[in-house]
Amino acid sequence: MNTTHRKKYLITVIGPTAIGKTAMAIHIANYFNTSIISADSRQFFKEMAIGTAVPGKEELEAAKHHFIQNISIFDDYSVGDFEREAIDLLDNLYTEQDFVVMAGGSGLYVDAVLKGFDEFPDIELSIREDLIAEYESKGITYLQNKLQELDPTHYERVAKDNPQRMMRALEVCIGTGKPYSSFLNQKKNERNFTPIVIGLEADREIMYNRINMRVDIMVNNGLIEEAEALYKHKDLNALQTVGYRELFSYFDGELTKEEAIEEIKKNTRRFAKRQMTWFRRNEAAKWFDYQTPPSTIINYIKDTI
């Protein structure tokens, strides 16, 4: 059947970690008889299950998920790769159906699919190598000061405790002689779908309590053992993330086990705050309390179509 004349929709569920995005996405996907694209960059990796809160067996069976544990921590995989693969998948899915659901807390990856990925010029590898050496010898403060000097606009937006993001911006600044931010918000690729963006939120205290509980559950489910198995690969980019970094510090003798767990909770709360700052910029998002019945949100989607 030729469905090219019919409008296609990408229903996207956003919000901070531990807010219930997966459960809501499953309800919506089941209603529209469709599948879910995961836009959580940490859940791509086969070796990282507990610390990234990968959907459980029952959740994965309740609705078909794409981009869950589909690559290895040893793979070179970028947001640009994800954008291309996700768009190709959507093109295929839309030949059979009019609705697809996307869910995830990685704002950059969500935006890459919804709006298109910014085009950056190729940068000489030696520039990144020099930045890594500077970071290792002078620390994160050096990167922060350098980025503030070369691109104060992006400095205000970037996660300042994430050396990878800062080095990426700096290599573009240095390699092109132009601010990283000047390459953002260029003309994006056109999309063949209409986005409907659903945001889930909660009062900060509730959100933080949910995060604390989730970390305790992860620890009980074997997070420390999972991190221990990955410890020998701790320098890989994929493992420079909350939930693993802190435990690597515990294994290195820099923190006690209790301190590492508290650091995971604290850093996850900070991460959730940054997620909300990012997602709040999406003016198209319709926000709902995390306890809103799925039927209410599905009715909103039907009214929007």
| Structural domain includes residue 2 | no
Residues 17 and 102 in one domain: yes
Residue 112, annotated ligand binder? no
Residues 161 and 54 in one domain: no
Residues 105 and 231 in one domain: yes
The pair of three-digit structure tokens given for residue 56, joined into one six-digit string: 């459980």
Residue 22, annotated ligand binder? yes
Q: Which residue(s) pair with 99 in the sheet?
A: 9
Residue 16, annotated ligand binder? yes
Q: Please name the residues in contact with 224: beta carbons below 8 A apart, sequence gap of 6 or more.
A: 247, 257
What residue numbers bound the domain in which 220 lies?
9-118+187-304
How many whole angstroms separate alpha carbon 3 and alpha carbon 7? 8
Say what the pTM is: 0.80
Residues 204 and 295 in one domain: yes
- CATH number, domain with residue 279: 3.40.50.300
pLDDT at 187: 63
DSSP code for 12? E
Helix (H) or strand (E) holding 51: none
88 within 8 A of 22, measured Cβ to Cβ: no
Residue 56, annotated ligand binder? no
Residues 206 and 77 in one domain: yes
| Structural domain includes residue 3 | no
| Structural domain includes residue 4 | no
How many whole angstroms separate alpha carbon 98 and alpha carbon 174? 44
pLDDT at 80: 83
Residue that is last in its domain, among 147, 166, 183? 183
Residues 274 and 235 in one domain: yes
Residue that is last in its domain, among 183, 203, 232? 183
Residue 293, annotated ligand binder? no
Alpha-carbon dihedral angle through residues 47, 52, 58, 59, given to the nearest 10 degrees: -120
Residues 54 and 161 in one domain: no
How many whole angstroms separate alpha carbon 231 and alpha carbon 215? 19
Residue 15, annotated ligand binder? yes
Residues 245 and 297 in one domain: yes
Residue 19, annotated ligand binder? yes
Of 55, 69, 65, the closest CA to residue 101 belongs to 65
Written as tens digits, the pLDDT of the chain (305 aa) is 344 457 999 999 999 999 999 999 999 999 999 999 999 999 999 999 999 999 999 999 999 999 999 999 999 888 889 999 999 999 999 999 999 999 999 998 999 899 886 677 778 888 888 999 899 899 999 999 999 999 999 998 888 888 888 999 999 999 888 899 888 766 667 899 999 999 999 999 999 999 999 999 999 999 999 999 999 999 998 998 999 999 999 999 999 999 999 999 999 999 999 999 999 989 999 999 999 999 999 999 999 99
pLDDT at 17: 96
Q: Number of structural domains, the chain?
A: 2
Residues 223 and 300 in one domain: yes
- CATH number, domain with residue 133: 1.10.20.140
Residues 138 and 95 in one domain: no
How many whole angstroms separate alpha carbon 11 and alpha carbon 8? 10
Residue that is last in its domain, among 183, 203, 220? 183
Residue 17, annotated ligand binder? yes
pLDDT at 118: 66
- List the 9-14 sheet strands across, edge first: 65-66, 36-38, 99-103, 9-14, 194-201, 286-289
Amino acid identity, position 199: G
